[in-house]
Structure 1
Amino acid sequence: MTEFYTWKGYSCAYELYPQKQDDTSSIPLLLIHPIGVGLSKFFWHRFCSLWQEENFPNPIYNPDLLGCGESDMPSVAYYPVDWAEQLQYFLETIVQRPVILIVQGALFPVAVSLVKLQQKSNLISGLILSGPPQLELMQKSSSPVQNKLRWNLFYSPIGKAFYRYARSRNFLDSFSKKQLFANANQVDKEWLDTLTKGAKKPQSQYAVFSFLAGFWRQDFSQTIAQINQPTLVLVGSQASTISKTDTTETPEQKMNSYLKYLPQAKGNQISGRNVLPYESTEEFIKVVNQFLVTIN
């Protein structure tokens, strides 16, 4: 069931999956969904359903970021700190207790920004990175001028025409098979139906444009190096990089780059490519639970 709260005058949506066991000591999970055409909190539904079926004690908070899903969609440029501030408010007013962050893909900059905002509040007990971007992309700012030019292009009639094409079922099917899933058969009707439905609102384009324009590409080197919470880095055995990088890393190299840089990190590879909670749900849940046991 979707619930709502108000942040900066905007209506923001979230789902709560309560704990089934009478155990108030279990740390809640706070999920951060990816940004992309048609994506929202639905991305985590397979994970949430199986988590409850397995009767794990941890409750789950699954919010829609502003500009996505059932949250309001103002036509503005979104930066990682904007979504981090939304989640900070959510943590402090709705959750009101420490959580484990689970963040998908290139939304790691949002998690990094949130950890920085939460340094004094201590509401983040650990992090789980699902298929994070290549570390190189987190250590180098993209050009603000180029970002602005890309944003203006996307915001133009040309960009809006591109978005109409990008939300077509054929494009979503092709992109998912080429860039997201290791097994093309996993790009099923459920996945495509949900993306298509999620992209129907034209206002959903602005969050996607912000991501494509590169506003998430900033130098987070210092902040990442100061993440002292226990962190699990999960990488797909067939992981690939969608964004352009100077070097190409194998999945193992990608994982090890993070393990060397994060103060308290563990790593694991599981089957799949770039959408592990959806494509490899059972394996993903298994390693997540194992990690939680070590820090609970």
Structure 2
Amino acid sequence: MNAVPVRHPGRWVAVAVLAVLAAMLVHTILTNDGFGWPVVGDYLFSPPVLNGLKNTLVLTVLSMVIGIVGGVLLAVMRLSPNWILSSVAALYIWVFRGTPLIAQLLFWNFLSALYPRLSLGIPFGPEFVSFDTNQLINQFAACLLGLGLNEAAYMAEIVRGGIASVEHGQTEAAGALGMSRAQTLRRIVLPQAMRVIIPPTGNETISMLKTSSLVVVIGYFELLTSVQRIYSVNFQTIPLLIVAAIWYLALTSILSVGQGFIERRYGRGLQTGPPGPSLFGFLRRTPEEAPA
């Protein structure tokens, strides 16, 4: 019996429509003078933009370090049998996830309105060291506190989900071997939980790169702030926004590639099923589509 492949004319119609739309998009991008591609080329590697880019990367890295470390601590507290530690962690997560990040950034930036001076000493007793809040928490510190502490609340839930994904029997077996809770967490639980933790952590890192642009609300100089200051002078708004978008796309692409390598590193030996379809896989006919 000669099998006749099933025809899919709708697919080719969709491809033709998408091709026309893509051609129209490319045409308008290349012919519309409003995009200002010469201006984009002039400012893409300009010193102010590169300085803002550097500050964005520093904010992203340090904020994620604070978020990851704080998230692990909060997740361990959240899973602790001690109800006080668990309640404190739950309250922290509730507050920082339930309030807008912009409000948190503004709060840390204007903390001196509540506490003009910060001190270290014995509670209700003598002070050993005292600091001026405006000098201690400058714009950079306010950005790190706002971004890092907010990220810790989200990372706590990610880490908690990863730890919960490990079978409880392995924890019991480790306890039977005489391992402490800390040893069990470090040697048994976390290495296996990383398979679950890594993908959303990579997404959070990419999100942090873009979320760092919110520090413009307190005037910190980063990538978006740098292009805003430039187009406020030369009024080339669209070209300068394209410059920022190009850098954000480039950095997120690099982070996505790095996330893929890390996921494969921690996913070794894990059966993930057959590979997904290729970019144009919908054009190919499979044996299942042919009638018997």
- TM (normalized to structure 2)? 0.25
Higher relative contact order (CA 8 A, sep 6+): 2
Q: Which structure's residues are more often strand, by fraction?
A: 1
Q: Which structure's residues are more often helix, by fraction?
A: 2
Indicate the structure (1 or 2) with the bigger Cα radius of gyration: 2
